[in-house]
């Protein structure tokens, strides 16, 4: 096993952030001054100041959380070369890919992800790749079969020429260098040619579900089934029977059983099936999971991951290893504010210095043991342990094969035992059984073990469960980056994604496994709790932001103010805040190598998400609490060329979804308010009338709201999907009228 203890596998590097801390504290100080000012002058101003005070208290609260989370960032360097010197043998890894819908997630995307995983630099006999298809699509299955044939060319090609990006679509999107050897050029052309043929075959199969190629016996399981109503399908596409050097890892297709009246728990349900199916087949002690669009961009990624899993004195220090979500082919300057670069760097890096990063749902290495509900192997952590307190059948279910495999996982020091070549084809029946929709009845799946149910952000909830058991997690930031995926484009897709996140995050806070209980009764650490809290309240934040963006408009309509006047010294506080917040956040963008444009796009999208997606997230959760509706996982569209290039991908688009109504209403209200204010100045010529008058502060605020919602302003005049539908405009106008009627008169 271990041969040398002196070789480090990782190094913890604290990141310098004096400037960041100063800027964050300055903003906090100004926020506190603003609150004091409100309190002192409350009696003279009354209700409007009270309302402002409440909103600003909330902003201060969030800012305190953010400051805490960003306070002591770290990063980790990894040394995979030492891994190979230190251990004679590496542990096995099961790799999971999830896909759900062949229309929204074209199989060629999944195929590229799978090919990038099959070619990672790691002993082939230690790897297995499982694909979960919630779409039960013969086209997806066909694509994977074709891909496994292509892999017989692709794997040796990548290893022979040390290809750096092993997703063929990305690799072949650039030409080879002119100085390449003739041998290489010949191979390159041949493999590229074969890849193009593969693409065409897949495309044809996707066009026509009844295509001739989908008729052979191999596809019998898919004939006459409905998408939400079919038995489990498990197929071994490729079994690696001998350990040849250029071999290909096992590839297994899984489509779990679905029945109309059984809740299937979306992605979390799919992940639990993958955990069980792989448990009865290869049962690797470690698992890597990625979404179908997240290809491995760094072929050494698994080796680096192992460095963080084994680089610490005790297993407790890395329950899971998460790579930041990064995106491929992202639009210039991040027009939809969803490339999350600064978020990953600042919040991700900050959390890496606490108990560890959140589980982000993709690009994560898991310890199977932690997924199975085991606490770290230390005496103080056994008090919340379901696994040792309950009958195994009541924890894992009654599959003999699964129970045996789980016992193996829970036993000590299994990590480095060599892979025993079990005949995985003989495990298909066992696999189908654990993939059935009744298997989880009267077990702990989805509660104390596995991926946790009850939130649209199953990832956050599952990571929280693991950290609540005392595990830390580690952040894997590599260069070249570990994994790359697709960020949604266009208004509807981006807003839907944020709506799901806001919903899910709030579900976590209100659910039985919330961070507050975890910090009080379990082993979640305090600052880690603050980090979860900061995210969990996104949806709540929407109502506060809504109130604050309506305030300046209200002031114009009533000819009053909620901010100090220019000639009052107190005006310096909001002015200072406005400047320091914008300069402070702009500096973060520059520090991450981003443009001022990207900063502005993110600022404005934050406001837009808050008043659209997050607000609907809040409403969704309230309706769920009242038992009026269920929240559902809406899958994000992955192909960017779905409109055949007719639309400019950078422009904001609309559809008739109600999610656009509140944003439209806020813009309308502020525009009306600005017009009223302007007319008042022209009519009165600056002379006093009743009310204490609206000042420059309110003017700046109103203009800022309108600028933040500029895509909506353009949407009033846009055509087709660039325009806000008339129905939405009418509904928004009705809301504005209602508001004026109720509050202004």
Residues that bind ligand UPG (CB under 6 A): 98-100, 105, 132, 134, 266-267, 270, 291-292, 361-362, 456-459, 497, 500-501, 504, 633, 635-636
Interacting span for Mn ion (CB under 5 A) from 253-261, 635-643, 712-720, 735-743: 635-643
Residue number with CB closer to Mn ion (238 or 633): 633
Q: 318 touches which of ligand UPG, Mn ion, none (CB within 5 to 8 A by kind)?
A: none
Supply angle C-alpha 132, 194, 638, rounded to 5. 40
Identify which of 366, 370, 374 has the alpha carbon closest to the alpha carbon of residue 320: 366
The tokens describing 266, both together, are 């979306």
Closest distance between ligand UPG and the C-beta of residue 361, in Å? 2
Q: How many CA atoms lie within 13 A of 711 on its CB side?
A: 25
The contact pattern for Mn ion, residues 290-309, with x = CB under 5 A and - = no contact, is -x------------------
Binding track over 584-623 against Mn ion, x by CB under 5 A: ----------------------------------------
Q: Which is nearer to ligand UPG, 111 or 635 (CB)?
A: 635
Minimum CB separation from Mn ion for residue 267, in Å? 10
- Strand positions, DSSP E, 183-249: 233-238
| Residue 162: strand, helix, or coil | coil
Instruction: Indicate left, alpha or beta for 644 from its phi (over 0: left) and psi (-120 to 50: alpha).
Output: left
CB of 144 or CB of 635, closer to ligand UPG: 635
Nearest approach in angstroms of CB 411 to Mn ion is 36
Least CB distance to Mn ion at residue 308 (A): 23
Are 344 and 325 in contact, with CB atoms under 8 Å apart? yes
* Least gap, CB of 497 to Mn ion (angstroms): 8
Number of Cβ within a 10 Å radius of residue 475: 22
Angle between helices 596-609 and 491-510 (to 10 degrees): 60
The listed partner (Mn ion, ligand UPG, none) that binds 56, CB under 5 to 8 Å by sort, is none
H or E stretch at 474: strand 473-475
CA-to-CA separations, 522 to 20, 379, 512, 534, in angstroms, rounded: 32, 14, 13, 19
Backbone φ, ψ for residue 95 (5° rounding): -110, 130
386 class by beta-carbon count within 10 Å (0-12 exposed, 13-18 middle, 19+ buried): middle
> Are 146 and 204 contacting, i.e. CB atoms less than 8 angstroms apart?
no
Known binding-site positions for Mn(2+): 267, 291
Question: Could you tell me the two tokens for 692?
Answer: 């204490």
Q: How far is the CB of 501 from ligand UPG (least distance, A)?
A: 6
* Element at 369 (helix H, strand E): helix 368-371
What does the alpha-carbon distance between residue 273 and residue 279 come to, in Å, rounded to a whole number? 9
Query: Which residues lie below 8 Å from residue 393, measured CB to CB, with a gap of 6+?
Result: 403, 443
Radius of gyration in angstroms for the set of CA atoms belonging to the chain, rounded to a whole number: 28
The site partner of 504 among ligand UPG, Mn ion, none (C-beta below 5 to 8 Å per kind) is ligand UPG
Residue nearer to Mn ion on the CB measure, 485 or 695: 485
Question: Which helix (H) or strand (E) is 716 found in, with range?
Answer: helix 710-717
Cβ proximity to ligand UPG: between 326 and 708 the closer is 326
> Using CB distances below 5 to 8 A depending on partner kind, what does residue 477 bind out of Mn ion, ligand UPG, none?
none
Q: CB-wise, 252 or 713, nearer to ligand UPG?
A: 252
How far apart, in Å, are the Cα atoms of 272 and each of 236, 266, 374, 647? 19, 10, 16, 39
* Cβ closest to ligand UPG, residue 315 vs residue 334: 334
Backbone CA torsion sign across 371, 377, 381, 385: positive
Beta bridge partners of 233: 255
| CA–CA separation, 700 and 562 (whole Å) | 12
Among residues 296, 278, 284, the alpha carbon closest in space to that of 236 is found at 278
CA atoms of 436 and 182, how far apart (whole Å): 53
**In the range 262-291, which residues lie near Mn ion by CB under 5 A?**
291
Are 119 and 164 within 8 A, CB to CB? Answer: no
User: Is 362 or 708 the residue whose CB approaches ligand UPG more closely?
Assistant: 362
| CB contact set of 670 (below 8 Å; sequence gap of 6+) | 549, 552, 553, 702, 705, 706
Hey, is 270 helix, strand or coil? Answer: helix
The nearest distance, CB 688 to ligand UPG, in angstroms, is: 54
Which residues are known to be catalytic?
Answer: 134, 459
Binding-site members for UDP-alpha-D-glucose are: 105, 134
Residue 250 CB, nearest distance to Mn ion (Å)? 25
| Residue at token pair 């049962």 | 283
Q: Is 482 helix (H, G, I), strand (E, B) or coil?
A: coil
Residue 286: strand, helix, or coil = strand
Nearest-approach distance from CB 78 to ligand UPG, in angstroms: 23
How far CA 45 is from CA of 49, 51, 548, 745, in Å, comes to 6, 11, 17, 20
What is the C-alpha separation between 399 and 584, in angstroms, rounded? 56
For Mn ion, how many residues bind (rule: CB under 5 A)? 2
Tell me the β-bridge partners of 254.
Answer: 132, 234
Q: Measured from the CB atom, is 504 or 711 closer to ligand UPG?
A: 504
Q: In angstroms, give the least distance from the CB of 500 to Mn ion.
A: 10
Inter-CA distances, 364 with 308, 474, 510, 744, Å: 12, 10, 25, 53
Task: Choose the one of Mn ion, ligand UPG, none that binds residue 141, judging by a C-beta under 5 to 8 angstroms depending on kind.
Answer: none
**Residue 523 binding partner per list ligand UPG, Mn ion, none, with a CB distance cut-off of 5 to 8 Å that depends on partner kind:** none
Which of 9/431 has CB closer to ligand UPG?
431
Q: Which two tokens stand for residue 490?
A: 């266009």
CB closer to ligand UPG out of 271 and 736: 271
**Closest distance to Mn ion from the beta carbon of 328 (Å):** 11
Extract the annotated binding site: 105, 134, 267, 291
Residue 304 dihedral angles phi and psi, to the nearest 5°: -60, -40
Binding site partner of 581, from Mn ion, ligand UPG, none, Cβ cut-off 5-8 A by kind: none
The residues that touch Mn ion, with contacts defined as CB under 5 A, are 291, 636
């Amino acid at each position: 096993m271990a041969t040398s203890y002196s070789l480090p596998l990782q190094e913890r590097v604290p990141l310098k952030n004096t400037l960041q801390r100063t800027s964050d504290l300055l903003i906090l100080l100004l926020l506190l001054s603003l609150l004091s000012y409100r309190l002192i002058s409350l009696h003279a101003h009354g209700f409007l100041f009270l309302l402002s005070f409440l909103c600003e208290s909330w902003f201060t609260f969030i800012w305190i959380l953010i400051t805490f989370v960003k306070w002591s960032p770290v990063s980790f360097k990894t040394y995979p070369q030492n891994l190979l010197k230190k251990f004679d043998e590496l542990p096995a890894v099961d790799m999971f890919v999830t896909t759900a819908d062949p229309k929204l997630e074209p199989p060629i995307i999944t195929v590229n992800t799978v090919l990038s995983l099959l070619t990672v630099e790691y002993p082939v006999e230690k790897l297995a790749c499982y694909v979960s298809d919630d779409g039960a699509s013969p086209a997806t299955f066909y694509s994977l079969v074709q891909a496994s044939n292509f892999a017989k060319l692709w794997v040796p090609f990548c290893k022979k020429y040390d290809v750096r990006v092993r997703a063929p679509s990305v690799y072949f999107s650039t030409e080879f260098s002119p100085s390449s050897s003739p041998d290489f050029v010949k191979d390159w052309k041949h493999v590229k040619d074969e890849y193009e043929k593969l693409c065409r075959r897949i495309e044809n199969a996707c066009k026509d579900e009844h295509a001739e190629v989908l008729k052979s016996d191999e596809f019998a399981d898919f004939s006459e089934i409905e998408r939400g109503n079919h038995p489990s399908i498990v197929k071994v596409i490729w079994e690696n029977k001998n350990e040849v050097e250029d071999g290909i890892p096992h590839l297994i297709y899984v489509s779990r059983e679905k029945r109309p009246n059984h809740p299937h728990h979306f992605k979390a349900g799919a992940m639990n099936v993958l955990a069980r199916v792989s448990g009865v087949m290869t049962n690797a002690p470690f698992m890597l999971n990625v979404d179908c669009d997240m290809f491995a961009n760094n072929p050494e990624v698994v080796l680096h991951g192992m460095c963080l899993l084994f680089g610490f004195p005790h297993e407790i220090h890395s329950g899971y290893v998460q790579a930041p979500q990064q995106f491929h082919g992202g639009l210039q300057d991040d027009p939809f504010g969803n490339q999350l670069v600064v978020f990953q760097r600042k919040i991700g890096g900050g959390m890496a210095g606490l108990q560890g990063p959140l589980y982000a749902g993709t690009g994560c290495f898991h310890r199977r043991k932690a997924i199975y509900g085991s606490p770290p192997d230390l005496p103080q952590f056994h008090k919340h342990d379901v696994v040792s307190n309950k009958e195994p059948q009541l924890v894992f279910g009654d599959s003999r094969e699964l129970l045996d495999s789980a016992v193996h996982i829970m036993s000590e020091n299994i990590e480095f035992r060599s892979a025993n070549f079990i005949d995985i084809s003989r495990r298909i029946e066992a696999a189908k059984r654990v993939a059935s929709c009744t298997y989880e009845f009267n077990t702990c799946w989805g509660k104390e073990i596995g991926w946790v149910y009850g939130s649209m952000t199953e990832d956050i909830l599952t990571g929280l469960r693991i950290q609540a058991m005392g595990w830390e997690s580690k952040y894997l930031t590599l260069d070249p980056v570990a994994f790359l995926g697709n960020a949604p484009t266009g208004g509807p897709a981006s807003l839907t994604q944020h709506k799901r996140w806001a919903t899910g995050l709030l579900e976590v806070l209100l659910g039985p496994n919330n961070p507050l209980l975890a910090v009080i009764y379990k082993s979640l650490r305090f600052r880690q709790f603050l980090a979860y809290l900061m995210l969990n309240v996104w949806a709540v934040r929407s109502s506060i932001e809504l109130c604050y963006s309506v305030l300046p408009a209200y002031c114009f309509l009533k000819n009053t103010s909620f901010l100090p006047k220019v000639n009052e010294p107190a005006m310096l506080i909001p002015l200072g805040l406005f400047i320091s917040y914008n300069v402070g956040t702009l500096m973060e963008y520059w520090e991450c190598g981003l443009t001022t444009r990207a900063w502005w796009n993110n600022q404005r999208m934050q406001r837009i998400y808050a008043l659209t997606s997050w607000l609907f997230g809040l409403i969704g959760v309230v309706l769920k609490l009242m038992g009026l509706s269920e929240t559902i996982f809406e899958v994000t569209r992955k192909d960017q060329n779905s409109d055949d290039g007719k639309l400019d991908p950078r422009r904001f688009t609309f559809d008739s979804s109600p999610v656009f109504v509140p944003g439209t209403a806020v813009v309308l209200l502020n525009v009306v308010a600005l017009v009223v204010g302007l007319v008042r100045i022209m009519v009165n010529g600056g002379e006093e009338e009743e009310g204490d008058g609206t000042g420059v502060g309110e003017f700046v605020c109103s203009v800022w709201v309108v600028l933040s919602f500029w895509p909506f302003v353009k949407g009033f005049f846009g055509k087709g999907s660039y325009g806000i539908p008339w129905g939405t405009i009418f509904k928004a106008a009705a809301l504005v009228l209602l508001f004026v009627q109720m509050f202004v008169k």
